């Protein structure tokens, strides 16, 4: 090992120690200091950092007139006053997509939510709205903006983090854009007035990442944000070290385990302290912070929500029939993250810690040159092997 390598390792270790110190201070802060509600009608001031928490109307832009190319249709916000109405979870629905201009098959879902829950506000967050939230400096997560540089799949992985962050800050319901209510879902059921955290179940009985609801800035999500693997990407030592272990190469992250549903499952369990039968149907009392979570089993989930029929065959032209999924992809230009695996948004082949260290110390150009020489050597070696 060269002298330069030893120096690099020493600096990286020092960098990690600084991360540890910051995260330790964060994890030992009193949970009682977390606000239990967010004023949705005005800007709120972070007393410790003199920073502002914008309103949801500011984040989404709340446009009144959106022009969309045919056949796309616009989706608008709907603001309803008195969101709490004697309920812990605010009556607000958050949905995200690249643009407010949606294919008609997708636009049906927001319309269904507005009809099923007339006393709920509805907020649509496009890419610009998502970016605005990540620009807000939160004292709870001082390293968030820095770690987010390691995110590769800006669609899937970024939204995995955003969906937790938006309900942490403002509370309410998060729903995937392709999820819609069935007739059993109404203002009183299945979310009850005293629910603190509510979640459905996916096909593996994991807490559903595609639909959940919670109080704003409650203890359960505070704990989640410090307990998931990388999935929340929030500034805790546990999360940061888990990122290094679960995603040693940010060029090829294991999305399901890093920010996806399996990570969400572990966050749910860690937040509650892993009580017995925590994945069963019903309300579960946590072993930490006196919190609770209501989980609906997979069997009962189908009574309340459904997904768009993506595999249904529909006509695209006089000579071609395609699935609804293909139709939506063609109309919106948005494809599933699993089809983006070959599209490297980050070419760096090391860990998040390596990437952050080299970037922060202006060493990336030097590293790129070294990696290029290594890659050229590997190509030569491969060619020689093939020739033999």
pLDDT at 80: 93
The pLDDT tens digits of the residues spanning 198-232 come to 999 999 999 999 999 988 874 444 444 433 322 23
Fold of the domain built from segment(s) 15-346: Spore Coat Polysaccharide Biosynthesis Protein SpsA; Chain A (3.90.550)
When the pLDDT of each residue in the chain is averaged and rounded to a whole number, the result is 74
pLDDT at 130: 95
- Nearest C-alpha neighbor of 147 from the set 235, 214, 79: 235
Q: In which band, very low, low, confident or very high, does the pLDDT at 256 lie, cut at 50, 70 and 90? A: confident
The pLDDT tens digits of the residues spanning 293-342 come to 999 999 999 999 999 999 999 999 999 999 999 999 999 988 755 555 44
Q: Give residue 270's Cα distance to chain centre.
A: 17
Q: How far apart are CA 113 and CA 285, in angstroms?
A: 29
Average pLDDT of span 29-34: 32
**Which secondary-structure segment (H or E) carries 364?**
helix 364-387
Q: Cis peptide leading into 220, omega within 30 of 0?
A: no
Which of 127-141, 231-245, 333-347 is predicted with the least confidence, judged by mean pLDDT? 231-245
Q: In which band, very low, low, confident or very high, does the pLDDT at 22 lie, cut at 50, 70 and 90? A: very low
Q: In which band, very low, low, confident or very high, does the pLDDT at 155 lie, cut at 50, 70 and 90? A: low
Q: What are phi and psi of 349, to 5 degrees?
A: -100, 5
Higher pLDDT, 70 or 169: 70
3-state helix, strand, coil in the chain (%, to 5): 40, 15, 45
Report domain extents, the chain. 15-346
pLDDT at 1: 52
pLDDT at 123: 98
What's this model's pTM, rounded to 2 decimal places?
Answer: 0.75
pLDDT at 289: 62
């Amino acid at each position: 090992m060269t002298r330069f390598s030893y120096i690099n390792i020493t600096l990286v270790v020092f960098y990690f120690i600084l991360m540890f110190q910051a995260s330790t201070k964060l994890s030992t802060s009193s949970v009682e200091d977390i606000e239990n509600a967010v004023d949705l009608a005005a800007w709120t001031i972070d007393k410790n950092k003199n920073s502002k928490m914008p309103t949801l109307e500011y984040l989404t832009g709340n446009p009144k007139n959106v022009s969309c190319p045919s056949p796309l249709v616009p989706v608008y916000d709907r603001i309803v006053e008195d969101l709490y109405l004697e309920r812990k979870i605010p009556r607000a629905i958050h949905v995200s997509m690249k643009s407010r201009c949606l294919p008609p098959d997708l636009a049906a879902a927001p319309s269904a939510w507005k009809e099923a829950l007339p006393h709920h506000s509805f907020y649509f967050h496009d890419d610009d709205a998502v970016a605005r939230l990540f620009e807000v400096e939160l004292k709870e997560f001082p390293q968030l903006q820095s770690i987010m540089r390691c995110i590769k799949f800006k669609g899937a992985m970024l939204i995995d983090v955003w969906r937790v962050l938006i309900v942490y800050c403002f509370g309410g319901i998060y729903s995937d854009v392709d999820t819609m209510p069935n007739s059993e879902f109404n203002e009183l059921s299945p979310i009850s007035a005293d629910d603190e955290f509510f979640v459905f179940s996916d096909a593996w009985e994991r807490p559903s990442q595609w639909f959940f609801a919670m109080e704003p800035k409650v203890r359960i999500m505070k704990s989640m944000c410090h307990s998931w693997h990388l999935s929340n990407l929030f500034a805790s030592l546990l999360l940061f070290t888990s990122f290094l272990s679960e995603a040693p190469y940010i060029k090829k992250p294991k999305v399901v385990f890093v920010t996806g549903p399996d990570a969400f499952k572990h966050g749910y369990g860690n937040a509650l302290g892993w009580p017995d039968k925590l994945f069963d149907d019903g309300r579960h009392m946590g072993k930490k912070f006196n919190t609770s979570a209501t989980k609906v089993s997979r069997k009962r989930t189908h009574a309340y929500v459904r997904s768009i029929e993506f595999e249904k065959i529909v006509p695209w032209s006089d000579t071609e029939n395609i699935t609804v999924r293909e139709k939506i992809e063609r109309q919106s230009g948005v494809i599933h993250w699993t089809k983006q695996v070959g599209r490297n948004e980050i070419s760096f082949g090391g860990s998040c810690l390596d990437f952050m260290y080299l970037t922060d110390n202006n060493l990336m150009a030097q590293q790129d040159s070294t990696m290029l020489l290594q890659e050229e050597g590997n190509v030569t070696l491969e060619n020689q092997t093939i020739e033999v």
